[in-house]
Amino acid sequence: MFSQKIKFLILFFFLLIFGNVNSQNKSVLIFNANVIDVKSGKISKNQAILIENQTIKNIGSFKKLNNLAAEKIDAKGKYVIPGLWDMHIHIEGQDLVEDNKALFPVFIAHGITTVRDAASDLGLQVLKWREEINDGKILGPTIFTAGRKLEGLNSIWKGDLEIENEAQLTQMLNYLDSLQVDFVKITENTLKGDLFLKSVIEAKKRGYLVTGHVPYDLTINDLASEGFSAIEHASYLLRLGNDENLSKKGILSGTLTKAQAEKDFLLNFKQEQAIKAYSDLAQKNVAVCPTLIGGKQLAYLDENNHKNDDFQRYLTKRFMSNYQWRIDRMANDTPEQKQQRKDRYQLIAKQLPYVQNAGMLIIAGSDCAALNTFVYPAASLIEELGLFQKSGMTPLDILQSATMNGAKFMGKFDKMGSLDVGKVADLVILDENPLLDINAVSKTAGVFTKGKYFDKSALNQMLEDAAKKKAELDKSRE
């Protein structure tokens, strides 16, 4: 018969063994890895990364960390980077709720673990998904969202918060406060410059990051002086190679049309003047989200018909039917207009190395959305990064733009955006070195996010499931 003491000891060891296994179940070790420090571009070879739950607990030698994890992932010959951030997407379409939801795992399968939703008509649904993803109820990228954006009356976009005066502005900002949005976005379809500028000022007062388009009746400098956080779309930068004040005056007095202003921005562009302006914007902490891919898809529509794009296996017919309006809008373009679109795209793309060297923060974003023709969710960010490289940016600068710069911009760099101890464990294992060629970000071997590791076959399964869901939705709507 066991004495009480021995019984106690048996119980103690029982608890020790099983208690330990339990805690080990939540820890994962990725070892033999080439770990990329996105801050410096340094590659540390043969490293082991210990993850507990959703946090990077330690980075060091396999020998030191080997005993601390239950699940081990051999990353021999592979490269580990932080999860990618797509800093400009739209989850949109009142009739595309299921279609959008089915695409969340597709982002993960492409190594995109965080997205910034730049407002849409599905804003309230997106806020719900933001919570469900955070709570682990559905799998998808971490979402930062503007919810719905500020505009003038009767704008062409659905779901905007339309304002006509300061009282309505206050009302809408109160509403955005109540939604707990992550930033404020403003566009200029029908919103007048003075109320646009007032919106920036008031939103800043409430502590928001404020981003958006640039109205013709304001200058970029007007916005920067009031603390505008980021210019969405690098196309607006072309104004900085011209006299912005002059075109603003022309627009306000009615002596210049918007179309003529656009033509001037392109044809009278002075590179040196723009470079100086980029430095001024960098001083004022204005970031830019270039979104090259959308402009490129439209400019080169006559050369690429996109009929056989692989990605369409994930997009429902209803989702893709939204692509048509931009195609129709361009159908009557003259050969001169077509050429101008291409010239304009090339000039915008050419700006990126200058913008980078001037010290502006570049945050990579695709502008993928049902309304943005052939700008596919997830895949278009990878294409965008390839376009950055063609523009002359270095692979390291590009990798930063798609990882730590997003975290810096959102004020989350202490917790996200690089592979450092204590940070959220969002990471991507790549077969090839992205610092040699950024296109290696498409060579995904595995993704760790939301406390789970997904190997290549799990990622492929996500893609298969999305394709299956697309087919089901199409069929149910026949």
The residues of the shown chain that bind Zn ion, judged by CB under 5 A, are: 118, 367
As a whole number of angstroms, the distance between CA 239 and CA 219 comes to: 8
Q: Which two tokens stand for residue 312?
A: 């369409």
Nearest position to Zn ion, beta carbon = 367
Instruction: Name the residue nearer to Zn ion (CB basis): 113 or 372.
Output: 372
Smallest gap from residue 159 Cβ to Zn ion (A): 13
Q: Looking at beta carbons only, is 182 or 367 nearer to Zn ion?
A: 367
For Zn ion, give the closer residue by CB, 162 or 367: 367
The tokens for 342 are 């291409």
We find the least distance from the C-beta atom of residue 87 to Zn ion, in angstroms, to be: 11
* Cβ proximity to Zn ion, 366 vs 418, nearer residue: 366
Judged by beta carbon, residue 99 or residue 367, the one nearer Zn ion is 367
Cβ atoms of residues 395 and 430 within 8 Å: no
> For residues 186 and 212, is the Cβ–Cβ distance under 8 A?
yes
CB of residue 232 vs Zn ion: minimum separation in angstroms? 6
| Dist. CA 445–CA 429, nearest whole Å | 5
Strands 79-82 and 71-74: unpaired
Shortest distance in whole angstroms from residue 118 CB to Zn ion: 5
Single out the residue of 71, 36, 140 nearest to residue 453, CA to CA: 71
Q: How far is the CB of 187 from Zn ion (least distance, A)?
A: 9
CA dist list (Å): 318 to 123, 156, 228, 374:
19, 20, 36, 14
Burial class for 40, CB neighbours closer than 10 Å (0-12, 13-18, 19+): exposed
Map tokens 């692989």 to a residue.
310
HEC profile of 105-128: HHHHHCCEEEEEECCCCCHHHHHH
**Closest to Zn ion by CB, 233 or 248:** 233
Minimal distance, residue 120 CB to Zn ion, in Å: 9
Nearest to 346 by CA among 292, 301, 395: 292
Q: How far is the CB of 88 from Zn ion (least distance, A)?
A: 6
- Smallest gap from Cβ 325 to Zn ion, in A, equals 15
Least distance to Zn ion from the beta carbon of 442, Å? 23
| CB closer to Zn ion out of 75 and 378 | 378
Q: According to DSSP H, which parts of 53-144 are helical?
A: 62-65, 97-101, 104-109, 123-134
**Nearest in space to 274 (alpha carbons), one of 237, 308, 328:** 237
The Cα 336–Cα 338 span in angstroms is: 5
In terms of DSSP H, where are the helices of 285-334? Answer: 292-299, 317-321, 324-330
Judged by CB, which is closer to Zn ion: 160, or 367? Answer: 367
Describe the crossing of helices 244-253 and 258-267 by its angle, rounded to 10 degrees: 160
For residues 367 and 383, which CB has a smaller minimum distance to Zn ion in the complex? 367
**What are the C-alpha distances in Å from 125 to residues 130, 142, 179?**
9, 14, 11
Instruction: Let me know: does 377 contact 361? Beta carbons within 8 Å.
Output: no
Residues 295, 374: Cα–Cα separation, whole Å = 10
> How many angstroms separate the CA atoms of 249 and 257, rounded?
11
Tokens found for residue 288: 């830019």
Q: Which is nearer to Zn ion, 38 or 293 (CB)?
A: 293
Nearer to Zn ion, 365 or 386 (CB): 365
Shortest distance, CB of residue 119 to Zn ion, whole angstroms?
A: 8
CB of 39 to Zn ion, least distance (A): 28
